[in-house]
Amino acid sequence: MSRTQMMPVQALYSPISDAIQRHEAGVRKSKKAVLTGSGRAWREDEEAYLLQTRLQKMPYKHIAVHLNKTELACRLHYHQLSRGSTRRKRTTSCSSDSPDPASGIPGLAASPIPNSKSRSISPAHIVGNYFATASPRLPAILPKPEPVAVSHPGESPQRHGIVMSEQSHEHLPSVTFRHGGPSYPSYHPPAPPLRLDCRELSPPSASAQGPVHVDLARLHSIYEVHRNAFWAVIAGDYGLNMSPAALEQAWKTGVCCPQHGGNPITPIASPDNDRKPLRRSPGLDKTRISSILGVDMEPMLREGWRRLRLGVCVVPPSLVNTIAARPAAVHCRQVVLKTPVSCTEPIMASKDGGPAPGHDPKSSSDYVQFNCLPPGGPLNRWSTTLTRGHDFPGAQAMLYGAGVPNREMMKNAPQVGIATVWWEGNPCKIIKGAVEKQGMLGWQFNTVGVSDAITMGGDGQRSRMRFSLQTRELIADSIESVTSAQHHDANISIPGCDKNMPGVVMAAARHNRPFIMVYGGTIRKGHSALLERHVNVSTCYEAAGAFAYGKLRAKTDAGAPGRESADVMEDIERHSCPGAGACGGMYTANTMATAIEAMGLTLPGSSSYPALSPEKARECERVGEVIKTTMERDIRPRDLLTRAAFENALVLTMILGGSTNGVLHFLAMANTAGVPLTLDDVARASDRTPFLADLAPSGKYLMEDLYEVGGTPSVLKMLIAKGLVDGSIPTVTGKTLAENVADWPSLDPGQQIIRPLEDPIKASGHIRILRGNIAPGGAVAKITGKEGLSFTGRARVFDRERDLNEALARGDIRREDGNLVLVVRYEGPKGGPGMPEQLRASAAIMGAGLTNVALVTDGRYSGASHGFIVGHVVPEAAAGGPVALVRDGDEVTIDAVLNRIDAAVSEAEMERRRAEWKAPEPRVKRGVLAKYARLVGDASHGAVTDGW
């Protein structure tokens, strides 16, 4: 391996000098004897070896994956070492010209490494320029290290490290070491690392592997850098509520928890040489075992491990059951607690031991809190937020649609997420085959995606909707990263939900390589037997409002057994989402899919084909041929993302009654593509475009219905003929948009979904851009005209969506209170953070029949929202916008004709309130949302994170 090849590894895990200095300062202090599990002091060379074995996984980010088996094996190695009695000989000379970072590791000698030809010396631990001769009683379970001087061409053998030979006892564990030191010369080929896995009973042969180089100085530096994270993971795995520093000390002293006058807790496995009983052994039980945590114990037994001791705190209930179920050749003493130990207690050594007086583990700067369930506790403690009762019917509907088989599973079964790069039912399976048929290589990779109907679950700090919008940026970032880093020549993206589609388009604008989007497709209609009509996910949220206000009833025999309100709610949840596909109305997913088709970035018909239709499968088969055409003709995304394309998208969105989220996404996509687009452009498009589609949420039809009368291409064909859409724009097919739809059938005569231009639902677009003393930077309203064109009411202010939802659930918002403008603030991109949607509130208002209520927020609305709603208020409250100054009782007027939103408050009063206003503390200070809040721009510029 060349030096160049090794540099990325070395750069990624470079030692941190001050961490090393801290360690060296620590080892200069007087050392106290520490005890092994068998009660005698550890030798320093044993400590060094334990450190070495513990370090081998440190360069990895996800050490928890192999933690159980790795840690157990390391500890078995260590306690085997403890059986030796001869102390190593300490040397007194040092030939190093400069301090070695590892020189402070206990158990390291200070003597030059002998020449590589000296093969007859005893096994040694070699670090940097030093080595320490180990005990001659080193057991055969350990691979024997051989000293080797590694030299490069033209250099004297100065850079040294330990080389672990492949010689190891048959049937015994092998050892993993990751290369971290100097690179090998060309004539000394590197070997892949051996794995420390007790289940691998025989290591690879020497001829196949060769020696493995270990730089203990680098490993020690890595340990210093990652020490807290390393011990925190161990604490989490064993369910210990201790600071990493306390756990490290406890581990070194041969226990797993500080004793504090309580029971001594031994490691999960240790040689029981003294055979003394534990100080307290309630429920003592002898069990015959052959396996702990899936690790084969037979090799250990052959090496003299005749008895194993299990610790009180270390054995979770699952392991106790495992041990009881696997009898074998040895007896094991097992301790079972009489009373459950709560994982939220600071110390878990014993129920009656407790922490030392005055000891507060949270006072440690590196304290990490771990929570877990008491024995026998429910496992669905997170998913129950969505599945208990009927608080989140949309989420339950989506989960039923995803395959939850019955109510029992919905309410009680824990839900386990399985992150995968690819799965059998994804359309990319067909697409990869189509690409390969064209003589090209198809490389599948994945990115993130969330379902907004499920993220809608939870309130306040439990709300997951805050995570939704920022996934658009994550999707764009990840696709840009993979496409660019992997040198892909083209990209086919397969999005399926709201933020997915703008995310993949933004990525395409960034990498600017031939690109096609294949929409995952819309869902089929559901049907409620008790309502006796079609239902969809939007029905769930409106039914929740009706349910809360006692207005949800079966169409016939209401109130009869099996037809009560709760039965109707259950029926809606079970049948709103009958299978795969994006939400079926003109919600955000279908808004973006139709708009992107109008921009020329998909094949004709992609946006209206149902997910499980044969047409969708044929589209996937055709896309391989078309992506090859884009490559051959060098058709790039930025060639297609033109001003005319965005105007087409805006016009079609107004025609179909699309989501207000479309405005946010069009601004973001245009920003990324370098196309000037503002709220004023949106306003102009709305002014000149009629609203024609009777589609949900404000209408009665779904995208499946539109598909059956011709779909998006038929609508585009009509709009091109009427001069509302520019048919001359280029598309991914190599043809113009007009050529793509020329052979498509016209809309079915007599269909009622798309009204004639001469008889629109509303003469101008339903999306209005408002400004005023509440929103000087702009706001986006969705007003179809069915609610009227202006609204005036008294303000009722909520600083959290949760507070409004609770008021609605209690029935505190009443029709007899007169006209109300409900203001929900501090829910913008920075304040939320994440600009969550207010669908629960807007749907509950509609379901309860509260037509005397308008809703204003600096957050967003779902595409399923409708009513007199205003969102995207800029500046947002968290940024000190005027919406933060509105108070209960202020008169607020919304005018969709004059495009104004104003509070009847004088400028002087506003200034007085501003002087009293104080910015609230950020709701999130760590993690992806905190990072998003720091980077994101305002909604009037698309809420992007990479420049606005």
The answer to whether the beta carbons of residues 788 and 868 sit under 8 Å apart is yes
- Using an 8 Å Cβ cutoff, are 241 and 346 in contact? yes
What is the distance between the alpha carbons of residues 919 and 878, in angstroms, rounded to a whole number? 7
State how far the Cα of 460 lies from the Cα of 801, in Å rounded to an integer.
Answer: 7
User: CB neighbours of 867 closer than 8 A, spacing ≥ 6?
Assistant: 787, 842, 845, 846, 853, 854, 855
Determine the Cα–Cα distance for residues 512 and 640; give it in Å rounded to an integer: 10
- Tell me which amino acid residue 12 is: L
Residue type for position 299: P
Is the torsion defined by CA of 268, 274, 277, 278 positive or negative? Answer: negative
What is the distance between the alpha carbons of residues 100 and 20, in angstroms, rounded to a whole number? 10
Under DSSP, is residue 538 helix (H, G, I), strand (E, B) or coil?
A: helix
Looking at 862, 865, 906, 940, which residue is catalytic?
Answer: 862
Give the dihedral of Cα atoms 597, 602, 607, 610; nearest 10 deg: 170
3-state helix, strand, coil in the chain (%, to 5): 35, 10, 55
Pick from 536, 530, 575, 524: nearest CA to 554? 530
CB-neighbour burial class of residue 758 (10 A; exposed 0-12, middle 13-18, buried 19+):
exposed
CA distance 929 to 924: 7
The tokens describing 242, both together, are 């201790």
Cis bond before residue 875 (omega within 30° of 0): yes
Cα–Cα nearest to 668, from 688, 649, 696, 687: 649
DSSP-derived letter for residue 877 is: G
Q: Partners of 855 in the beta sheet?
A: 822, 869
Rg (alpha carbons) of the chain, rounded to whole number = 34
Q: Which residues contact 402 (CB under 8 A, 6 or more apart)?
A: 577
Which CA distances in Å does 92 have to 104, 132, 475? 14, 11, 58
Return d(Cα 900, Cα 459) in angstroms, integer.
31
The region, left, alpha or beta by phi > 0 then psi within -120 to 50, assigned to residue 388 is beta
Position 363, amino acid = S
In a 10 Å sphere around its CB, with 0-12 CB exposed, 13-18 middle and 19+ buried, how is residue 608 labelled? buried
Residue 339 amino acid letter: T
User: Residue 30 CB: number of other CB atoms within 10 A?
Assistant: 4
Three-class secondary structure of residue 66 per DSSP = helix
Q: How far apart are CA 500 and CA 491, in angstroms?
A: 15
CA distance 657 to 784: 8
Token couple for 70: 């790795």
Active site (annotated) includes residue 862: yes
Task: Retrieve residue 185's tokens.
Answer: 């010369």
Structure tokens at 690: 């009629």
Distances (CA, A) of 812 to 326, 410, 867: 59, 30, 19
3-state secondary structure 637-652: HHHHCCHHHHHHHHHH
Q: Which amino acid is at 660?
A: T
Instruction: Residue 794: count other Cβ atoms within 10 Å of its Cβ.
Output: 14
Could you give the residue ranges of the DSSP H alpha helices within 737-816?
Answer: 737-741, 801-810
Asked whether the beta carbons of 149 and 113 are under 8 A apart, the reply is: yes
- Which residues are part of the catalytic machinery? 862
